[in-house]
Structure formats: C-alpha cells, structure tokens
Amino acid sequence: MGFVDFAGSTVIHGIGGIAGVISAAGPTLLEKFKLDDVVGAVSVHLFCGIWGTLCVAIFHESGFSIASLQVQALRTFTICGCAFIAAYIVFFIINRTIGLRATDEEQVLGLDFSEHASNAYPNFQTKD
C-alpha cells in the first residue's frame, strides 16, 4: 500500500488519541456481549489494530482514496476472519480433548495454587 505522509503523521497524536478511546471503550463493548477480556488484549490488539490499519489508507502519502480504504478493510477483515476460524478450531480441539475450564475445586483453591503449587496472593481471602 504505502506509508502515512508528513501531513498525516502530524495527526498521529489524534490517531493515538482515538486509539486510546477505542481501547478504553472496548471492554464495555465486550461486556455487553458477555465476553471476558481480563487484561484488555482484545481492545488493544484487535480493535486498535483495525483502527491503525485503516489509518494507513485514510492518511496515505498519496492522499485518501476510497479504493485504498476498501483494500485495507478487506485485508483487515480477512485476517480477522482467518484468525477467528483458526482459533476456533484450536480451542474446539482443546475443549474436546483436555478441556478449557478449570474444575470447581481448582477455582476454589485458586488457579495459581492448583497450577503452580504456590499462592500468588497469600493475604487474599474469599467470602464464603
């Protein structure tokens, strides 16, 4: 495709600012779909990655064109679709073979203890 030119690079702070808003709003969107993203990786890598990739077409050195935006969008969503399908297949196989979920007992003990035989938060207590 190309690169962001100097004029486009002067709005990098704006691009980053919008990415900040996207990464902050992402967890709220995911919660509405009852999806858990404990560390915010989906918001940062998926949502902001899509935004950043589309910005290459929006602020291209040869100027904005709807054709380059369409190409970037097609490539972006093709990659997202392929990654989703690959991850779904891998997680499906794992779930059918060794399982994805911790047992109820492991959850009560805490996964740090059941997986690593150590207590990461010795002062942490749950309400029973």
pLDDT digits (tens, 9 = 90+) for 48-74: 999 999 988 888 878 889 999 999 999
In this predicted model, what pLDDT tens digit does every residue of 69-94 receive, in sequence order?
999 999 999 999 999 999 999 999 99
Q: pTM of whole model > 0.85? A: no
Q: Encoding tokens for residue 49?
A: 């990655």
**Mean predicted lDDT score pLDDT of the chain:** 85
How many whole angstroms from its chain centre is CA 7?
Answer: 29
> What's the rounded Cα separation, in Å, for the pair 24 and 86?
27
Q: Which residue has the tokens 């399982």?
A: 99
Determine if residue 64 is left, alpha or beta; phi over 0 gives left, psi from -120 to 50 gives alpha, anything else beta: beta
Judge whether 54 and 76 are in contact, CB under 8 Å.
yes
As a whole number of Å, the CA-based R_g of the chain is 21
Burial of 57 (0-12, 13-18, 19+ CB in 10 A): buried
Judge whether 52 and 4 are in contact, CB under 8 Å.
no
Packing angle, helices 66-97 and 48-58, rounded to 10: 160
Selection from 69, 70, 46 nearest residue 58 by Cα: 69
Judge whether 49 and 15 are in contact, CB under 8 Å.
no
For the chain, percent of residues with pLDDT exceeding 90: 48
What pLDDT, on a 0 to 100 scale, did the predictor assign at position 4?
A: 67
